[in-house]
Amino acid sequence: MSVFGRFFSGERLLLEDKARAGLPGRVAILSDGATYYELGGPQRGNPVVLIHGFSVPSFIWDPTFVALSQAGFRTLRYDLFGRGYSDRPKARYDKALFVRQLAELLEALKFPHVDLVSLSMGGVVAAEFAFRFPKRVRELAFISPAGFDLELPWTVKLLKFPGLGEFVFGGLGLFGTGSILQSMFNDFHNPSQQALDEFATRYLEQMKYRGFRRAILSTLRNRMLDEDLDLFRRMGASEKPVLLVWGKMDQTVPFRHHETFRKLVPQTEFHAIEDAAHISHFEKPDLVNPILVSFLKR
């Protein structure tokens, strides 16, 4: 089997309607493909959109989705293209694609104005969307946002090169299923084995469907994880209300970057979360959910 064959060999299935049968969410057909989404909370509640990060799909918002829905918000979470149960279009996985996906989804759901809550790379999407559509965004909450120097190892940087990236990912086996899961586990701080097992089971589901690895590589190659301080500089100039939540033990997007964020966005309300890493909202929902609810209601 060729390197490219090994690279895609784990993706056995096409993502069709039958794969989504029985799921709690729905599908919106957009210009680039089908987007899987879920809605919660009262229909007349203020709409809040949850945007996940680089590779973990919308289940990462489980505790937040429930809390915001119960607090009276019309809460929307969805899978970015290439992840979860959304399509994997053959496209450039860049800011333009992800912003267009969000804009068309909000149009389909008839949400003229929203609040955005984002995690990691989702923060890049949220900040770019707010810049492109300033009148559609009221306020923004960020959890450990990307857009800063992530100090990626050389092996990850190799993935950006066409051909070489596929070889490193598949042929050398440096980024097999085990390596991918380990990188996801690094987002936790001191998790239980049960928590890791449950997380792994849900994460691996998306890897059965063709196009996942291609989408991940394209996302890296189109600089979605590169430093982009202009995103936050423009947000600071906009004076929109901004909330920043960051786990003190975060190594994925190092905690120290909160200082740069606060300088660039002086209107930021900041909360550091003890004993939590990159996904503080998932690890410490009892601490983070009240912060989000208070900010969004205010």
> pLDDT truncated to tens, each residue of the chain (298 aa)?
333 343 344 556 778 778 898 899 999 999 999 999 999 999 999 999 999 999 999 999 999 999 999 999 999 999 999 999 999 999 999 999 999 999 999 999 999 999 999 999 999 999 999 999 999 999 999 999 999 998 776 556 566 666 655 555 554 344 456 677 888 899 999 999 999 999 999 999 999 999 998 999 999 999 999 999 999 999 999 989 999 999 999 999 999 999 999 999 999 999 999 999 999 999 999 999 999 999 999 8
Q: Is 270 left (phi over 0), alpha (psi -120 to 50) or beta?
A: beta
Q: What is the pLDDT of residue 4?
A: 35
Tens-digit pLDDT profile for residues 108-126: 999 999 999 999 999 999 9
Residues 6+ apart with CB under 8 A from 36: 20, 23, 25, 26, 27, 58, 78, 79, 84, 85, 86
Q: What is the C-alpha separation between 149 and 249, in angstroms, rounded?
A: 17
pLDDT of residue 160: 61
pLDDT at 250: 97
The C-alpha atoms of residue 223 and residue 209 are separated, in whole angstroms, by: 24
CA of residue 209 relative to chain centroid, distance: 19
- Give the type of residue at 244: L
User: What CATH number did the domain enclosing 279 receive?
Assistant: 3.40.50.1820
Residue 160 CA to residue 20 CA, distance in Å, equals: 31
Number of domains forming the structure of the chain: 1
Q: Report the alpha-carbon distance of residue 39 to residue 24 in Å, rounded.
A: 9
Within 13 A of 153's CA, how many CA atoms are on the CB side?
Answer: 7
Range of the domain at 204: 3-297
